[in-house]
């Protein structure tokens, strides 16, 4: 048996077609969704992410602004910049590209963004609302993962989900979102003993540790759904996931590829959140 591929690339394309229509409808009502991105320094990976975010905005008709600041920018200057965007009527979403230089507090920056414009879904208010099942901007990668699982009509309710990784950006929130969908959730992390005991019991396995081929087929139950969030370069410079895809695809029932899996959905959900924010501004 070979697993069915859950292509984030295809799902993203489908969702973006629908979003184009939503953006056109908003424009007809006099509102153009606007996303502001702040990039500090010249980290190549961050620059590449920002470029693809801008390109995606352009493709579906979202107005996007990029503010590139030198690595010497002070925390105070950055917070002033965010405050100005909080008050800018034409901007519905604000995103500060992480990681930040060491002298700037990530916490202070995230908390400075108006929760109503926090389209990344990282503000403690949005995280708290997500935890309690209220309306909130959901973090983009976890949100994309849930959409991918649902796109294949895979039932989440009552399933045992094992999340490997506990980052604030992916691990913790994806477990919470799947809990909100009535799954039973177990977290594994670097201090977990006998990890295999847990992963072999997973109906749905989400792996987000950032280590190439961290798990192989021995860790996966027959017929499990495998969501691979990792994006790593192997020794040959090829992009690979946290899961050994070639091995896992013979055991899993569904699997996400790397590249072309979770990645394209992250930006898609960012666009979605920006459109939602623009719609709310109409009310």
Q: What is the DSSP letter of 193?
A: S
**Which of the following is catalytic: 15, 81, 118, 120?**
120
Strands 225-228 and 184-188: unpaired
Our answer to whether residue 97 is catalytic in this structure is yes
Across the beta sheet with 160-164, the strand order is 4-5, 254-255, 225-228, 204-207, 160-164, 184-188
The one catalytic residue among 53, 172, 221, 249: 53
Question: What's the residue count for the chain?
Answer: 283
50 assigned ligand-binding residue: no
Among the options 15, 81, 97, 118, which is catalytic? 97
167 is in an annotated binding site: yes
Contact 164, 213 (CB under 8 A): no
Known catalytic residue at 53? yes
**CA nearest 68: which of 26, 38, 95, 96?**
38
Task: Determine the Cα–Cα distance for residues 149 and 256; give it in Å rounded to an integer.
Answer: 10
| Separation of first and last alpha carbons in the chain | 51
Residue 235 is among the residues annotated as catalytic for this protein: no
Please state, in angstroms and rounded to a whole number, the distance separating the CA atoms of residues 121 and 50: 17
CA 215 to centroid of chain Cα atoms: 21
List binding-site positions for NADP(+).
Answer: 165-167, 231
Active site residues: 53, 97, 120
């Amino acid at each position: 048996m070979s697993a069915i591929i859950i292509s984030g690339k295809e799902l993203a394309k489908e969702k973006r077609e629908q979003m184009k229509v939503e953006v056109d409808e908003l424009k007809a009502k006099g509102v153009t969704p606007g996303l502001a991105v702040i990039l500090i320094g010249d980290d190549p990976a961050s620059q590449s992410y920002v470029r693809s975010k801008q390109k995606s905005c352009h493709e579906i008709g979202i107005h996007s602004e990029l503010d590139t600041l030198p690595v010497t920018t002070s925390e105070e200057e950055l917070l002033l910049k965010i405050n100005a965007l909080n008050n800018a009527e034409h901007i519905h979403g604000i995103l500060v590209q992480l990681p930040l230089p060491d002298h700037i507090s990530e916490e202070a920056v995230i908390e400075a963004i108006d929760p109503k414009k926090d389209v990344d879904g990282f503000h403690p208010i949005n995280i708290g609302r997500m935890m309690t099942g209220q309306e909130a901007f959901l973090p983009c990668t976890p949100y994309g993962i849930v959409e991918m699982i649902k796109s294949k009509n895979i039932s989440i309710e009552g399933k045992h989900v094992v999340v490997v990784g506990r980052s604030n950006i992916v691990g913790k929130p994806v477990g919470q979102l799947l809990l909100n969908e009535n799954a039973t959730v177990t977290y594994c992390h670097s201090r977990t003993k006998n990890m295999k005991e847990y992963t072999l019991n997973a109906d749905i396995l989400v792996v987000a540790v950032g280590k190439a081929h961290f798990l192989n087929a021995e860790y996966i139950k027959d017929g499990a759904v495998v969501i691979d969030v990792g994006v790593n370069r192997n020794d040959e410079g090829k992009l690979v996931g946290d899961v050994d895809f070639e091995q896992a695809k013979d055991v899993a029932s569904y699997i996400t590829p790397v590249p072309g899996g979770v990645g394209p959905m992250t930006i898609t959900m960012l666009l979605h959140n920006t459109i939602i924010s623009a719609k709310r501004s109409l009310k």
